[in-house]
Structure 1
Amino acid sequence: MEPTIYLFFNGNCLEAMTHYAETLGGEITDVFKNGDAPPGEDRMPGSDDLVMNMAMKLGSATIMASDAPGQWYSKPQGFSVSLSPSSIAEFDRIFQALSKDAESISMAPGETFWAERFTTFKDRFGTPWMLNYAGSKAS
């Protein structure tokens, strides 16, 4: 069994997940929009362009997502999507792309006792991230 990350967005799911796929080298495998569903109870309230469900393959993991319109949406809290880039250069590239116009950067990139470089931030879509490059401090 392998866990799947499922993210919710406030109307910008397709934009966010496309950005993540381009930045992280993922592949969007499925996108189902509100307009694809038959009329009636199976549709979300709102535009036909809202994403009901989508999936991105990232390595051996799958990240799934959807829009959560209006009263269904709440800001993410209590978790972070954690990535371990393979080099400082890759860390810096990912950080630059994901933190552009960030909602907040709670810990700027820097060295810690466990990692050569670490950071935590919320991107412009509200997704909380942790990047960790252990480097020579890996156990």
Structure 2
Amino acid sequence: MEPTIYLFFKGNCLEAMTHYAEILGGEIKDVFRNADVPDPQYRIPGSDDMVMNMAMSLGDTLVLASDNTDDMYQKPRGFYVSIAPTSREEFDRLHTALAREAESIEMPPEETFWAERFAMFTDKYGTPWMLNYEGGKAQGGSPA
């Protein structure tokens, strides 16, 4: 059994997931909008463009996502999506792309005792990210 990441967005799910697919080399698999609901009684009025569910493959991982209405949306908290780039160049590329217009920077890119480069931030879509490039400090694990 493997966990699946399921992200929620406040009306910009398709934009955010397409952005992530481009940056991370993922592939958008399915997009199911509110307008696609076969029984109109289950549609959210006035939100036909909202994403009810979508899937992106990222290597062997499936990332799912959907939009929420203003009254249902809650900012993500208590977790980070953690990525372990395999090179310093890849770390820098990912950080530049994902942290552009970041909502907040919890920890800017810097060396730590466990990694050559580590950063924590919340991107412009509200997704919290952790990037961890161990480099020469790889010793069988990291806190991320």
Return the TM-score normalized by structure 1.
0.97
Contact kept, 8 Å, 1:45 with 1:69, in 2: the verdict is no
Number of aligned residue pairs: 139
2:86 corresponds to which residue? 86
| Alpha-carbon distance in 1 for matches of 2:28, 2:46 | 23
Identity of aligned residues (%): 65
How far residue 17 of structure 1 moved from its aligned partner, in angstroms, is 0.1
| Alpha-carbon distance in 2 for matches of 1:46, 1:114 | 49
1:58 aligns with 2:54: no
1:4 corresponds to which residue? 4
How far residue 44 of structure 1 moved from its aligned partner, in angstroms, is 3.1
1:138 corresponds to which residue? 138
Superposed CA offset, 1:29-88 (max 9, x none)? 010001111243432344211000000000110110000112110111000000001100
1:104 corresponds to which residue? 104
| Equivalent AA in structure 2 for residue 115 of structure 1 | A
1:37 corresponds to which residue? 37
| Alpha-carbon distance in 1 for matches of 2:96, 2:137 | 23
Moved more, 40-49 or 62-71: 40-49
The equivalences for 1:67-78 within 5 A come to 67-78=67-78
Where does the alignment leave 5 or more consecutive residues of structure 2 unmatched? 140-144
Where does the alignment leave 5 or more consecutive residues of structure 1 unmatched? none
| Alpha-carbon distance in 1 for matches of 2:122, 2:45 | 27
Q: Secondary structure at the match of 2:71?
A: helix
| Alpha-carbon distance in 2 for matches of 1:30, 1:70 | 24
| Alpha-carbon distance in 2 for matches of 1:60, 1:18 | 18
2:142 corresponds to which residue? none
CA RMSD of aligned residues (A): 0.9
| Alpha-carbon distance in 1 for matches of 2:67, 2:45 | 11
| Equivalent AA in structure 1 for residue 2 of structure 2 | E
Q: Secondary structure at the match of 1:90?
A: helix
4+ long deviations beyond 6 Å: none
Contact kept, 8 Å, 1:44 with 1:52, in 2: the verdict is no
Return the TM-score normalized by structure 2.
0.93
